[in-house]
Homo-oligomer: A and B are copies of this chain.
Amino acid sequence: MEPGILLRGTTIWFTGLPCSGKSTLARLTFEKLGGLGLPVEFLDGDDFRKHFSAGVGFSKEERSSHLRRVSTLCRLLNKHGVIVVASFISPYRENREYARGLIGDRFVEVFTDSSVEVCMKRDVKGMYKKAMAGEIKQFTGVSDPYERPEHPELLLKTDLEAPEESLVKLMNLLRDRYGIPVP
């Protein structure tokens, strides 16, 4: 498929607790869509912060400023027909609603819903442990709030199902509701 054949971009926005499986699933999504020859870009917190939000911290205000930048970039890429796979904790509802408002009806909020207990078990870097010891401040799920999405386009119980199962559900949604040509 030629790049550009998809005339309208889409933002697939993964939100959820640290280690809830956002980035694993986002990466699988990116590879799947890219493998189909679709124009797609992957954005995640660490990388975006390095390039566009260096020095921006994790207070509510700073997270908001950071996520407004993310939203603007998603919109810009969507405008040129690029599908954006965005993986950001994005713990505050108002930031996700800002993104939705800017991006419009091609904003697909995917909530990787996993209990804190399971997230902690999956935390290979030991971030939760450090957060609970007070060594990391403003850590979502421990010392910072996470506001659950009220009406996400897709809720995935990532503590109960394998990433491959979640991926199938997402691909079905993208095909059936958004017309993205996934076989």
A residues adjacent to B (C-beta < 8 A)? 2-5, 7, 39, 41, 51-52, 54, 65, 68-69, 72-73, 76-77, 80-82
Contact = CB atoms under 8 A, between A and B. Distances in A.
Number of copies of this kind of chain in the complex: 2
B80 A3 contact: yes
Contacts of A82: 80
A69 B69 CA distance: 11
6 contacts: A51-B68, A52-B72, A54-B65, A73-B73, A73-B76, A76-B77
Contact of A41 (B41, B54, B72, B76): B76
A52 B73 CA distance: 9
A81 B77 CA distance: 11
A57 to B, nearest CB: 13
